[in-house]
Amino acid sequence: MQGIPCVDLSDFLSDDPKRKQKFVNEIGTAYQEIGFVALKNHFLSDQLVDDLYAEVKNFFNLPVNTKRKYEIEGLGGQRGYISFGKESAKGKKEGDLKEFWHFGQYVEDDDKRKTEYPDNVIVSEVPNFNTVGKEAFQQLEKTGIYVLRALSLFLGLDEFYFDKFIHNGNSILRPIHYPPITSEPKNAVRAAAHGDINLITLLMGAQGKGLQVQDNEGNWHDAMAQPDELVINVGDMLSRHSNNTLKSTIHRVVNPPKELWGTSRYSIPFFMHPVSEMPLNCLENCITDHNPKQFEDITAGDFLHERLVELGLIKK
């Protein structure tokens, strides 16, 4: 496999039914086989991407004590700053070699839902950080809505099946900083092999190599996108809901060659989550004699809680 399959969102958005179906077939097949695609013609402008990376670097360049002001106890890492080494992959005791930030949902039309989510944390030292973060969050969410509409059609569902579940969903935008490596890591990598928790993940072309995806034979491949593309993968919630028809692919971020240890790496994934009450029960039309039901019934909220406990972000 050379890289990952590339799809063009303008096909799905066109008025030509054949182009739209072409996109549905391409992205669905890619998610059956490898679980990752590169997406062209999304809703993020080049300027917004540049602005976001600039503001993210401005934040992570702040003194450690300043950043730690924004690490709020009791939130389970849902909002604000999460310091270096706090998160580990499921089943791995070593913390990943990263620090990160969480922007969450901006609820504007549902007072009950607004009380369910913590408020976003405002950084006073970097005035444009929150403004640019909100704009990026909303453009990535808009892109994700259309990807899920295409996958609904691929799975034989109504095109707008996911809309009610992802409106005001518990999504997260996570700017990540992988600091320079100063000494030989003991069993730790920038991000250990894992599957994502959510429905889908949208990742801006990360600055610097490192992201790798695992194929069905267990081989690892570099997942490199063009600067104007998003890398989008299936998460565990969607894999579970589709009875593993769509694959949540294992991926990792490896440490760079030793000559590049002195460099930082930045990455900004958007984790698209539904509302907590969405049932993740295996879809009836994804259960067959050849693919019997593989997962127990559970809601998205309960599944997320289980996984955050496993990751060490919240206590049981």
The CATH classification number of 6-311 equals 2.60.120.330
- Contact predicate 8/205, CB 8 Å: no
Report the alpha-carbon distance of residue 53 to residue 133 in Å, rounded. Answer: 10
Whole-angstrom CA distances from 6 to 34, 36, 47, 258, 260 are: 12, 9, 22, 31, 29
**Type of residue at 29:** T
Whole-angstrom CA distances from 100 to 67, 81, 140, 173, 268 are: 10, 6, 18, 10, 9
Residue with tokens 């990943």: 96
- Contact predicate 16/24, CB 8 Å: no
The 3-class SS string of 113-146 reads HHHHCCCCCCCCCCCCHHHHHHHHHHHHHHHHHH
Q: Radius of gyration (Cα) for the chain, nearest Å?
A: 19
User: How many CA atoms lie less than 13 Å away from 85 in the CB half-sphere?
Assistant: 7
Return the structure tokens found at 2: 């050379």
Report the alpha-carbon distance of residue 125 to residue 135 in Å, rounded. Answer: 19
DSSP 8-state assignment for residue 210: -
Over the chain (316 residues), the average pLDDT of each successive run of 10 is 79 96 96 87 94 96 94 86 66 63 95 92 95 97 98 97 96 91 61 84 71 79 80 94 91 71 83 96 95 96 88 70
Residue with tokens 């369910």: 116
Give Cβ neighbours of residue 63 (< 8 Å, ≥ 6 apart): none
Report the alpha-carbon distance of residue 280 to residue 294 in Å, rounded. Answer: 12
Residue with tokens 């890398």: 231
At 209 the pLDDT is 65
**Type of residue at 72:** I
**Type of residue at 54:** A
Partners of residue 80 on adjacent β-strands: 102
* pTM greater than the 0.95 cutoff: no
For residue 93, give the 3-state DSSP assignment.
Answer: coil
At 186 the pLDDT is 61
Return the structure tokens found at 200: 């889908």
**Type of residue at 92:** K
Pairing of strands 36-40, 80-82: unpaired
